[in-house]
Structure 1
């Protein structure tokens, strides 16, 4: 695994050599062209989220690790998804479209184009959201660590290119950063990773569109988010930052149905805060917004290294 330097590296060691071990599954450089967007939600309480290190870098009931690309252009050029461990391909899907609007996506196909691998001793991995037509393996095929499975895509329940990696043991989801669910959150001495990726507590909890600058309570409750807007309403993108540090840079932007940039605003965080919200937007032009789908982005960097990146979309009707 190649990794750009991040601020905090939790002390963690891989599991013993005779145990199941994961290797980095993407051809990308952490902090430069990809980043860990979401970890497994280790808080069982509904409506709550907590990653393995007691941070906020997860989503409620999230059962895998999301490894996201920083741009759609990278996806178009092709970023390889590789086997994280040796095993046998059990099942796959390779026919779903790469569609950020998630047309026709249901609970049954939310994983999109995917490969399920059996690694023996009850261990399995499921790689989701791959590019249509990119899957390079067949059921029953034996794969070695690092073998090509396909490419990162936009299939299934996702509005941005990323790999969702679920690890299972005897049918139960396991957090690869904290495989012993009985232990409390915090620095972990044991992980499933052969080379544990670096961790930073800072992240983007969520991003979305609204018709006004919301307050933090509206963002955390979900009432700020709008899936559709009228042509004469303001167009606002917000980002909820967790554990921001002075000097962190947050960029909020939006693009219209034709791909043209509507706005881009760069903000430098001044004070350390566990939880903060920033928003930016524009009033509708005299003729109103063009009808169609708008893409919003929140990009968080530190010293030029990508920490987090969230996408949102809204339809102007």
Structure 2
């Protein structure tokens, strides 16, 4: 879902993460949300120096060469309402970019954002070589400009869908002298995991290994190998075909809940909860409806798959499909 940010607002030297100095800033949440309630972390800094990926716990919640932390909203509706991106630490605005449309990237549009993968963005200088970068902000929402002094928690603009992304979130990059730093493991300790007091966060942010690989629509209940390879996903359907939404889960725990919902041009078409009694390392669940009499209305349909544990949201994925006659 979320691709890596390759280039920033200026020619920064994006090198492999190295040890951080003792003068590191304390970071606050860069989003006006409550983790596990109105937002969640999907991807962490990739600590694998070669192909493949691993997060700071040696888990799989990263992407190859991912260079920041992705703080996700739960829905496009939340983005439309407006959620503020916040300065994670005090500093001076070093650069901004605005004017890019809030449009999900596709294979057809990928080349048009070459060199602007960060989208609409703000970069803040915190002194002593420390900077933070805030990517994928909403077009025309920026409230700061170069040279402005900001305090921790000040609004910089709103979460959007600009640049190399297809879901609303803010990508936070932390840099020291132009090099990417993992704020969960700033000293780059070669261990699986770091204690909370080793991180840069002023309040410890909980890590959970569970999540969702993907969600998708199909026109029948797919086979697991088709879900794993991506061949189960369809993007268009006839109005007389069933609409089936599936979610691909990893490392769930007994009692976790998967909620599958879908909406079309005339509103909700289904909402279904599944309790995962005996989950495996990987699994998928699917739910759908046959077409109504006369067929589904033509238009765009969106589904959400949400993984929760008690009252805590662990992950959300969305899927889109277009129905035509």
Tell me the TM-score range normalised by the shorter chain.
0.7 to 0.9
Distance 2:85 2:126 in 1: 17
Is the counterpart of residue 208 in structure 1 residue 216 in structure 2? Answer: yes
Distance 2:287 2:164 in 1: 26
Gaps of 5+ in 2: 1-19
Is the counterpart of residue 62 in structure 1 residue 66 in structure 2? Answer: yes
* Shift in Å, 1:149: 0.7
Residue 310 of structure 2 is matched in structure 1 by 303
Is the counterpart of residue 157 in structure 1 residue 164 in structure 2? Answer: yes
Q: Deviations over 1:81-113 (max 9, x none)?
A: 111122222222222333457695623333222
Is the counterpart of residue 175 in structure 1 residue 182 in structure 2? Answer: yes
Distance 2:150 2:163 in 1: 24
Is the counterpart of residue 199 in structure 1 residue 207 in structure 2? Answer: yes
1:251/1:266 contact within 8 Å kept: yes
Distance 2:67 2:230 in 1: 21
Q: What is the TM-score of this pair, normalised by structure 1?
A: 0.83
Q: What SS class does the counterpart of residue 228 from structure 2 fall into?
A: helix
- Give the aligned CA root-mean-square deviation in angstroms: 2.7
Return the match for 1:236 from 240, 244, 247: 244
Q: Deviations over 1:208-229 (max 9, x none)?
A: 2233333333333333333344
How many residues are aligned here? Answer: 301
Gaps of 5+ in 1: 1-14
Is the counterpart of residue 71 in structure 1 residue 75 in structure 2? Answer: yes
Residue 252 of structure 1 is matched in structure 2 by 260
Residue 109 of structure 1 is matched in structure 2 by 116
Residue 31 of structure 2 is matched in structure 1 by 26
Distance 1:262 1:303 in 2: 25
Question: In the superposition, relative to structure 1, how do residues 220 and 179 fare at CA in structure 2: closer, same or farther (>3 Å)?
Answer: farther
Residue 4 of structure 1 is matched in structure 2 by none
Q: Deviations over 1:192-217 (max 9, x none)?
A: 22222111222112222233333333
Q: What is the TM-score of this pair, normalised by structure 2?
A: 0.81
